[in-house]
Amino acid sequence: MTAIRYQDRTFDCAPGQTVLDCLTAGGVAVPSSCRAGVCQSCLMRAEEGEVPAAAQAGLKPTLAAQGYFLACSCRPQAPLTVALPDAERLRMAAEVVSIEPLNADIVAVKLKPSQQMAYRAGQFIRLYKDPAQSRCYSLASVPELDDHLEIHVRAVPGGQVSGWVHRELRAGDAVEIADSSGLCFYVDDRPEQPLLLLGTGSGLAPLYGIVRDALNQGHRGPVWLYHGSTGPQGLYRTGELAALAERHPDFHYVRCVSEGEAPAGFRPGTPLDAACADHPVLDGWRVFLCGHPELVRKGRMQAFLAGASMADIHADPFVPSGGLAAAA
């Protein structure tokens, strides 16, 4: 057993047990969502003791240096004294620049942070409705191309934050956001490497940013983007992506519909169906998967079986409220 001290109580953490499971079992209300080290809802801070490196994977160095860690990934080997983060220190003000409808269910929200924020296209930020309610949304913007942050928000039935965005938020409103996080972004270390990007619904947001970032940095290998929805009306940014494909011969944009008959110019089935048919061998490819958790789960397995290295498969599943933006 490893001792975990929180406030004035001490908890016994069993071998292999996470700090999140240990504290939750003891009656401590620790915010959490995905329990997979993705959404970062369970961020905590170590006041004393050593945090395993795996518990800080994906965090910015500035946060890791201050002792922040993900409780769902932390399996301590030595006693820890922990605390919930000071939320005020992690948030910054931003202004809503514009809200643009993308389709019947998704809007693009452009934000201007009150201070300069370093980020990579494809990472995500947390948007706060109020101190108790927030949601993570992936960034479609590219630092070198855009003077704002852009997120795509789907109206989730019963969603507190997405409902607020769609019904109440307006241009000029002041909001609070948390700094960027996440590991799903383009790195220009292999400019000749083929890239495969698959997404559904608002899962296009990070992929839209990653594609533009890669092409802007001069990526020379083939880039294939497959975006899908149940019907053509669920797709968006089609004109922008088609224009991008015209300017860059090595960029290929494929629109997929999974229900009914596919109209001319659309592929039937899911993005994963179409991609597997077009690229049965992915040895040496880099793969990005964003959207519905089932697409990400199946896509990760299919890409690996097709020859892609697990180190080259980058995935952000969109999990229920509190984690990444839902796409389904």
Q: Check residues 32 and 259 and name the one with the higher pLDDT.
A: 259
Q: Rounded to whole angstroms, how far apart are CA atoms 24 and 34?
A: 15
When pLDDT is averaged across residues 64-93 and rounded to a whole number, the result is 86
Domain ranges for the chain: 2-85, 88-181, 195-317
- What distance in Å separates the CA atoms of residue 254 and residue 252, rounded to the nearest whole number? 7
Alpha-carbon gap, residue 25 to 28, rounded angstroms: 7
> Mean pLDDT, to the nearest integer, of 75-100?
88
Lowest mean pLDDT among 14-23, 63-72, 241-250: 63-72
Residue 51 phi, psi dihedral angles, 5° rounding: -95, 130
Give tens-digit pLDDT for 242-300: 999 999 999 999 999 999 888 899 999 999 999 999 999 999 999 999 988 888 899 99
More confident residue, 61 or 322: 61
pLDDT, position 132: 77
| pLDDT tens-digit map of 176-233 | 998 887 778 999 999 999 999 999 999 999 999 999 999 999 999 999 999 999 999 9
Q: To the nearest whole percent, how much of the chain has pLDDT over 90? A: 71
Least confident of 14-18, 54-58, 153-157: 54-58
Instruction: For residue 247, give every residue at least 6 positions away whose Cβ sits within 8 Å of its Cβ, in sequence order, or none.
Output: none
CA distances for 171 relative to 102, 111, 140, 182, angstroms: 16, 9, 18, 27
What is the fold, at CATH topology level, of the domain defined by 88-181? Elongation Factor Tu (Ef-tu); domain 3 (2.40.30)
At residue 97, does pLDDT exceed 70?
yes
Handedness of CA 55, 61, 65, 66 (dihedral sign): negative
**Band of residue 322 on the pLDDT scale cut at 50, 70, 90:** very low
The CATH superfamily label for domain 2-85 reads Beta-grasp domain (3.10.20.30)
Fold of 195-317: Rossmann fold (3.40.50)
- Residue 324 has a pLDDT of 42
What is the per-residue pLDDT across 298-320, written as a single tens digit (0 to 9) for each? Answer: 999 999 999 999 999 998 766 55
Check if 2-85 and 195-317 are the same fold: no
Confidence at residue 327, expressed as pLDDT on a 0 to 100 scale:
32
* CA 21, chain centre distance (Å): 23
Which residues, in sequence order, are CB contacts of 82 under 8 Å at separation 6+?
Answer: 4, 5, 6, 19, 23, 44, 45, 46, 47, 71
Q: What is the pTM of this model?
A: 0.79
Q: Which of 97, 105, 119, 102 is nearest to 175 (CA)?
A: 97
> In 10 A of CB 243, how many CB atoms?
11
User: Which pLDDT does position 22 carry in this prediction?
Assistant: 95
pLDDT per residue as tens digits for the range 101-147: 999 999 999 999 998 888 999 988 989 998 778 888 999 999 999 99
Band of pLDDT at residue 149, cut at 50, 70 and 90: very high
Supply angle C-alpha 132, 137, 142, rounded to 5.
Answer: 140
Residue 11 has pLDDT above 90, yes or no: yes
